[in-house]
Amino acid sequence: MAAISLRNVIKRYGAGPKANQVIHGVNAEVADGEFIVIVGPSGCGKSTLLRMVAGLEEISGGEIAIGPRVVNDIEPSERDIAMVFQNYALYPHMTVFDNMAYGLKIAKVPVSEIKARVDKAAGILQLAPYLARKPRELSGGQRQRVAMGRAIVRQPQVFLFDEPLSNLDAKLRAQTRIEIRKLHAELGVTSLFVTHDQVEAMTLAQRMMVMNAGRMEQFGTPDEVYTRPATTFVASFIGSPPMNLLKGLAQGASFTLDGQTVPLPGPAPRNGELTLGLRPEHVVAGGSGGWPLKVELIEMLGAERLVHGQLGSHDFTLRMDGMLPPPPMGSTVQLQLSAQHLHWFDVATGSRVE
């Protein structure tokens, strides 16, 4: 096992004034044995960053270290890493055992040790009954476990996962997430896991790196990222449904939104133009003298309801208990805010304002 250091890592394609920079100076320290999730929308640079750690992409600037070694100029095969891809990439003509053992055979590992390693990995991943089967005889979830088993038997210092669950249906994704958590708890190998799915990120990560347009917007525990988003991008990307973001004018304990001044439960951090963030679950409907929300749509989701409406000219979503009677469509309800759940952001930069 080994720690990973990313020191002002840059990636650009091309040279000169027409060069296209896609990774903009990422800095992060990953502790030995830590499970880190890199999350962000498509095209944000998360897979490119992972591939640079793997050595499959050259870096244009900065340093990447795995353990004590700077690996910028070290071949992928010499970095002591194992990678699991979105595509299982199994050999269709080989059995599960042979797929898992192939890399060890190429490395000329003794036959007895190969069998011991494969049997141990198969036990961890509940693949022992399927070792004699071919990939076509397995489900998608089983094939992905074989791909993970092939990585485990190598006993690397670092695991790299590149959206490994994207090809699975929702139920299998949930099951495989649990298996990956158990796997990391048992093996304790430093891991980087790339996904665009915020649910995967929140449930798997010990810490998560939120990427946007090649920049690291925030690096922290799931709880830190959710409760104290560093930017409006993080606030809107992490959370389902996303945080409500309202641009207006703060003045003490009041907020002017689309020409209407509404009360705040406590003073804003500063006067002037600010963006106010409110999680759908941190607002309560009822009472009087609150913020008027015109109800337009109600989604019934079993244990909860999502109430969608208009707050001035802003779309707004409220989450409420599914056992409570919903407000009538077209009605106006008063929203009550909690001082401890207000999030403030700078309008120009999108950065959090304390």
- The residues facing 65 across adjacent strands are 5, 70
280 and 319 in contact (C-beta within 8 Å)? yes
Give how far Cα 25 sits from Cα of 7, 87, 139, Å.
Answer: 8, 29, 40
Nearest to 67 by CA among 31, 26, 35, 36: 31
What phi and psi, each to the nearest 5 degrees, are found at residue 79? -90, -5
Whole-model pTM: value is: 0.89
- How many CB atoms sit inside 10 A of residue 29's CB? 12
- pLDDT recorded at residue 296: 94
DSSP 122: H
- How many CB atoms sit inside 10 A of residue 127's CB? 22
Kindly report, residue by residue over 292-349, the tens digit of the pLDDT.
999 999 999 888 999 999 988 889 999 989 888 888 999 999 999 988 999 999 999 9
Kindly report, residue by residue over 117-156, the tens digit of the pLDDT.
999 889 888 899 999 999 999 988 888 889 888 888 988 9
pLDDT in tens for each of the 354 residues of the chain? 789 999 999 999 988 888 899 999 999 999 999 999 999 999 999 999 999 999 999 999 999 999 999 999 999 989 999 998 888 788 999 999 999 999 899 889 999 999 999 998 898 888 999 999 999 999 888 888 898 888 889 889 999 999 888 877 878 788 888 888 888 988 899 999 999 999 899 999 999 999 999 999 999 999 999 999 999 999 999 998 999 999 999 999 999 988 888 889 989 999 999 999 999 999 988 877 788 999 999 999 888 999 999 988 889 999 989 888 888 999 999 999 988 999 999 999 999 998
Could you give the domains of the chain?
Answer: 4-230 (3.40.50.300), 241-346 (2.40.50.140)
Alpha carbon 143 to chain centroid distance? 23
- pLDDT recorded at residue 288: 78
